[in-house]
Every structure is written in structure tokens, then in C-alpha cells.
Amino acid sequence: MNCKNCYPRSTAESEIERAKKERERRGCEKPAKSPQYGDDETGEVFYRCPLSQVKEWGWFIIKVFNHYESGHLPFSGSVLEQSAKLMNMISLVRKYKMEYQEKKNKG
């Protein structure tokens, strides 16, 4: 997934049109005409760009997790002073990241 190709590189009309066609082809805003991505493990195919399916709050959680891994917490204080909900979300992202890395290392 190279999102840079789905956005215009300049304000030229031809570039804007190229980016629009690329977004349509990859299924960024609505299902594409043909499968664009597949899961080799399950054989499942996708007609939408997977990144287009992540909601705004999902991106927020990923950003918070990246800061957490760098040693920065979103709120002042220690880990014990962060909300339980936030720490549960961080734990969940860490769990899925570890599972992904284990699968990747085995493959």
C-alpha cells in the first residue's frame, strides 16, 4: 500500500485526475471493480483499500501507541495515572502487533 500514489503530487489538472483514477482503481472511497488486496493466509480478497477502512479514532490509537512505545504518555503522570481504557487499548494494539510480527517472522 503506497498511499502517496493516491494523492495529487501537484495542482495540475492532469495530476488531480490521475490521483482520482488511482483512488477509484484501488478502492479508496468505494469498492473497486476488481480485488485490490488479498490475504495469502486465508485466501480472502478485498475490494477496498484496507487503510481506507480505519476510522479516525483508530488512527488516534495507533498514534498514541507509537508515542507510548517511544516512552511518551498522552497525559501527565505515570502509567498508573493514565485511564484504564487508554491502557487497555495500548495493550490490545501491542498484542496484535506482536502476533503480526510472530507470523511475519515464521513466514
Q: What confidence tens digit (pLDDT) does each residue in 46-74 have?
A: 999 888 888 998 989 999 999 999 999 98
Q: Where are the domains of the chain?
A: 1-50, 54-107
Cβ atoms of residues 22 and 16 within 8 Å: no
Closest to 29 (Cα-Cα) out of 46, 14, 45, 49: 49
Q: Could you tell me the pTM of the whole model?
A: 0.62
pLDDT score recorded for residue 5: 86
